Structure 1
Amino acid sequence: MSNKRNGYLLGLGCNIEPFENFSSMITMLLKEFKSFDISRILHIPPVGMNSQHYFLNAVAFIETDMPQQNLKDICNTIEMKLGRDREDPARKHKDRPADLDILCSLTIPEDLNTPAREVTDEYFLYPLIDELFVFLSDKPLTHQIQTGTNIQVGQLSFGESATTIHRN
């Protein structure tokens, strides 16, 4: 990849009405950004919390030169619009309709060799980070990971593999 791209890596997740809320998160992100790259979406049990509700999780690369705090404000607004209580001190350990976390700033292609463990300690995101980095490197995925989950947003269908999503 010859073009330098700057932006942020986001962790996306939800376990309250996950299919509807994940679709809503993507719709709201597309209102803010004309496109972004996203890993496959995994349907996995909760990690680090006691819940019977499975999560949908993915990792996205948002190409932008906006300050990190502006992106954080956008992420928090999306969470609150979907019903997350940002004031609850126990929110990290509760079921959630939306969770958008900035994992790191990212420069492509320079940062694509960064090990996932240096990006986050949330190990359930490691295969998604690895997959997205391979996708952003324009290389084929050489190892198997869990089958992705299909999500529909209007006519848009995604989630079974890494892809780029564009606003219509």
Structure 2
Amino acid sequence: MSRDNEASPQTTSQAYIALGSNMGDREQMLRQALLALQEHASINVLRVSKVYETDPVGYTDQSAFLNMAALLETTLAPMPLLRAMLQIEQQLGRKREVRFGPRTIDLDVLLYEDVRSDEEELILPHPRMMERAFVLVPLHDVLQPGHSLQQQVGQAANRALQDGGEGIALWNTINWQDASAPSES
């Protein structure tokens, strides 16, 4: 692997990502995406959230989603991490035909350390994460204790759930072999 794809040879960074699926065996798609991330030489899945079933947002004429979040450790810089995630989406059959439409898998970088980015391809922190219960609730599950956004994400997740929660309900848990237990709310 070339050094252009790494943050630096010794440096690891933490990134929080969102995963979602509403086509086919949704839970299996989430598992396959986690495994593909873990199998990447420069990515380690540290922690995974519970899995939540959520109503679609935006384009609503589609099946419900399963959503979750994960904490990754990576030597990839933000853009190469995004590209690796897009490649995994493609391997798992993702087709981009309808904006906010049905998808086998959707992987989004939510946070990457304290990096702020306003690139066309990657905005960090994710620009709509604080508006969406389907992102906030699983993200709150995996945020490291003491993370600078822990209180803000927790409050926003609780508000979103009190306001109807965008049809979010606990679906299941995925026992991740390398993961520590999700943080308790």
TM superposition score category, shorter chain reference: 0.5 to 0.7
- Aligned pairs for 1:106-145 (under 5 A) are 106=113, 120-124=129-133, 125-133=135-143, 136-137=144-145
TM-score (norm 2): 0.62
CA RMSD of aligned residues (A): 3.2
Tell me the number of residue pairs that the alignment of Structure 1 and Structure 2 aligns: 139
In 2, are the aligned partners of 1:7 and 1:62 still within 8 Å (CA)? yes
Match of 2:77 among 67, 70, 86: 67
In 1, are the aligned partners of 2:34 and 2:45 still within 8 Å (CA)? no
Q: Which residue of 2 aligns with 1:7?
A: 14
Asked if 1:85 corresponds to 2:95, the answer is yes
Q: 1:16, CA displacement in angstroms?
A: 0.5
**1:22-54 deviations in whole A, cap 9, x for unaligned?**
121111111013432121111112112223411
State, as a whole percentage, how many aligned pairs show the same letter: 21
Q: 1:104, CA displacement in angstroms?
A: 2.0
Residue 56 of structure 1 aligns with an amino acid whose one-letter code is L
Structure 1 moving runs of 4+ over 4 Å: 116-119, 143-146
The answer to which structure, 1 or 2, has the higher relative contact order (CA under 8 A, 6+ apart) is 1
Q: Could you tell me which runs of 5 or more consecutive residues in structure 2 were left unpaired when the two chains were aligned.
A: 1-11, 115-124, 147-153, 162-168
Q: 1:12, CA displacement in angstroms?
A: 0.6
Q: 1:118, CA displacement in angstroms?
A: 7.5
Q: 1:99, CA displacement in angstroms?
A: 0.3
Q: Could you tell me which runs of 5 or more consecutive residues in structure 1 were left unpaired when the two chains were aligned.
A: 108-115, 164-168
Q: Which residue of 2 aligns with 1:166?
A: none
How far apart in 2 are the matches of 1:106 and 1:6? 6
How far apart in 2 are the matches of 1:106 and 1:122? 20
How far apart in 2 are the matches of 1:137 and 1:152? 20
In 2, are the aligned partners of 1:38 and 1:58 still within 8 Å (CA)? yes
How far apart in 2 are the matches of 1:34 and 1:129? 17
